[in-house]
Structure 1
């Protein structure tokens, strides 16, 4: 008769996600993971498979939570541009300890590039979901006169995504809150410039 698992799987995955987020895949040793998850080696293999499968599950967990938070912030304001600002400010005004971790998606992109097809597909799918949400918000901003009717929406989506990544990388590099807020202010001014709002 199989012994019941003596740990909370979700909690163990949460702890593994924190390790991978801080260290990346390669630098996170199995011993690091076991210590953080508070489980034995056999439990890791029996429950999650190998280190790679654990990483993929941790990355998926991070993406689901991060994307849900981004979408909630985008929709939290009546004004479309205010929603975009709120999402970007969340990166700028995060606790310094959290900012120091950067973004797990950006970390995966830097570590793997396009060399790992499975991870690249996960990153592309996550980006596409945020792209679609940003496009909807920007089209609303156009309709409501918050950005110029001539604005290239898809180009603006790329600009916002790049700004988000830049905030995450700058935060990890030690930029302070005021500096990051300035980036957000500049980005929003650029988006609204043609309407005279910037």
Structure 2
């Protein structure tokens, strides 16, 4: 009979996410990962198989905890201006110097890993749909759904750029003014 796991999987994945987010996938070696997860080598391999499997679990966690929460926030916003609803995307978080987990995954891992590429694209598409919904409810972009979709794509790209610039340590600029001008509000 196999022994039951002696660790909390959620805590281990949280530790893995933190180190992948801080160091990147390629720079995180197995000893770093084991320390971050609080696991022995044997427990790690029994539970997760390899580093890539753990990384994918962290993407799933990010999707659930961050992307889904962001989408719920966008949908629940009742402010009259789209810019007001979108500004939480452009407000530095405590992890601003680590950038966006999706962006990091898209740049570092997705080019060599189709599964990660597909998952990050799905998350980006969901974010774009959330942004589109904010614009649609407020009639931003006029009657043209194509124009509105283009605006949503631009806002998404600005968001990813904002995150990348945060990682570089650059001071935050007037994102609210930029978004307001882009959306014509």
For normalisation by structure 1, the TM-score amounts to: 0.84
Partners of 2:12 and 2:110 in 1: how far apart?
27
Give the match for residue 74 of structure 2.
74
- On the 8 A contact 2:77/2:85 being kept in 1, the answer is yes
Measured at CA, do residues 22 and 141 of structure 1 come closer, stay the same or move farther in structure 2, by a change above 3 Å?
A: same
Give the match for residue 179 of structure 2.
187
**1:51-96 Cα shifts (integer Å, max 9, x gaps):** 11111111111122121221132134213502122x323xx2323x
Structure 2: any 5+ residue segments left out of the alignment?
none
Give the match for residue 169 of structure 1.
164
- On the 8 A contact 1:56/1:119 being kept in 2, the answer is yes
Q: 1:20: Cα distance to partner?
A: 0.8
Q: 1:147: Cα distance to partner?
A: 4.7
Partners of 2:43 and 2:113 in 1: how far apart?
26
Partners of 1:120 and 1:72 in 2: how far apart?
24
Q: 1:126: Cα distance to partner?
A: 1.0
Q: 1:113: Cα distance to partner?
A: 4.5
- On the 8 A contact 1:141/1:147 being kept in 2, the answer is no
For normalisation by structure 2, the TM-score amounts to: 0.89
Give the match for residue 99 of structure 1.
96
Query: CA RMSD, aligned part only?
Result: 1.8
Partners of 2:162 and 2:55 in 1: how far apart?
24
Q: 1:2: Cα distance to partner?
A: 2.1
Q: How do 1:1-198 and structure 2 match up within 5 A?
A: 1-78=1-78, 79=80, 81=82, 82-85=84-87, 87-89=88-90, 92-95=91-94, 98-142=95-139, 146-149=140-143, 152-177=147-172, 179=173, 182-192=174-184, 197=185
Structure 1: any 5+ residue segments left out of the alignment?
none
Partners of 2:13 and 2:110 in 1: how far apart?
24
- On the 8 A contact 1:34/1:40 being kept in 2, the answer is yes
Partners of 2:42 and 2:55 in 1: how far apart?
17
Partners of 2:144 and 2:53 in 1: how far apart?
46
Q: 1:102: Cα distance to partner?
A: 0.5
Consecutive aligned runs of 4 or more in structure 1 exceeding 6 Å deviation: none
Partners of 2:39 and 2:109 in 1: how far apart?
27
